[in-house]
Amino acid sequence: MAEGGALGTVDEYKFKDYDFGIDAANAAMLLRVDLKTGEKVATLLSRKGEPTGIINALSLVAGVILLNESFTSSEAAGAVFDVFDFDNSGEISMDEMTILMLSACRGLKSMLAVGRDPHDDDMERSTMGAFDQLGKTYGTYISRVDFLKWTRVHFKGDSSALAVMNRFNLLDGAAPRPAAEWHSPERQNAEQAQAEIARQMAELEAEAVTEAREAVAKAAAGLRAAAAA
């Protein structure tokens, strides 16, 4: 999915006021894909692993952003922040930041099918650590600028999907480690999954462009026919 497509997903979610829990049809509309693809997404992300399951919209949107290779690390972090800035104030609370990290990590875990689920307590401690590093008082808010500053330091300039999971100790159940030292089979599976997701989204976008061109051509032909009549 190109950068514009990911940002379009963010706008679709925020401006059309989707519920936090959505079904396959909502997922399809949110991602601008067909229902069959929406059902695949629901199967992947729902707790029951069924096409009729309810999925967390925030995990879906955050995962789409972090798996988008068109974004730089700062652009990805900024886009994720914007999703969880629910009132568009340019700031998020400690609770919102904790939800941000939980949702992002859960989405990546489901989409890449590797690692383990994040724990609420771990994400709360990470949020407290971020506020400590930025000199913020607990119970206050963190700005977009400060959030980007923290992500640059915390993720060392790499907010790719695997780097995020690694930094939160979600790969192999071990402490964060250099990418070269990650458990090879699991890392390889995750990289293959990420590449496959990117390939499928590229195909979907290409199909959408083709369908749009065909619709325009059909409309133009209709106009010419009407003019000639």
Report the predicted TM-score, pTM, of the whole model to 2 decimal places: 0.65
Helix, strand and coil content of the chain, in percent to the nearest 5, comes to 65, 5, 30
Mean pLDDT for all residues in the chain: 74
Specify the amino acid at residue 10.
V
DSSP track, 70-139: TS-HHHHHHHHHHHH-TT-SSEEEHHHHHHHHHHHHHHHHHHHT-S-PPPHHHHHHHHHHHHHHTTPPTT
Specify the amino acid at residue 159.
S
| pLDDT at residue 85 is higher than 50 | yes
Using alpha carbons, list the distances in angstroms from residue 141 to 68, 91, 95: 28, 6, 10
Tens digits of residue pLDDT in 12-50: 444 444 446 778 888 777 777 788 887 887 777 776 667
22 φ/ψ sector (left φ>0, alpha ψ -120 to 50, else beta)? beta
Q: What is the mean pLDDT of residues 200-213?
A: 58
Give the span between the Cα atoms of 6 and 83, in whole angstroms: 11
157 φ/ψ sector (left φ>0, alpha ψ -120 to 50, else beta)? left
| pLDDT at residue 178 is higher than 70 | no
| pLDDT at residue 77 is higher than 70 | yes
Q: What residues contact 5, with CB distance under 8 A and at least 6 apart?
A: 32, 68, 201, 205
User: Looking at 73-77, 156-160, 171-175, which range is the least confident one?
Assistant: 171-175
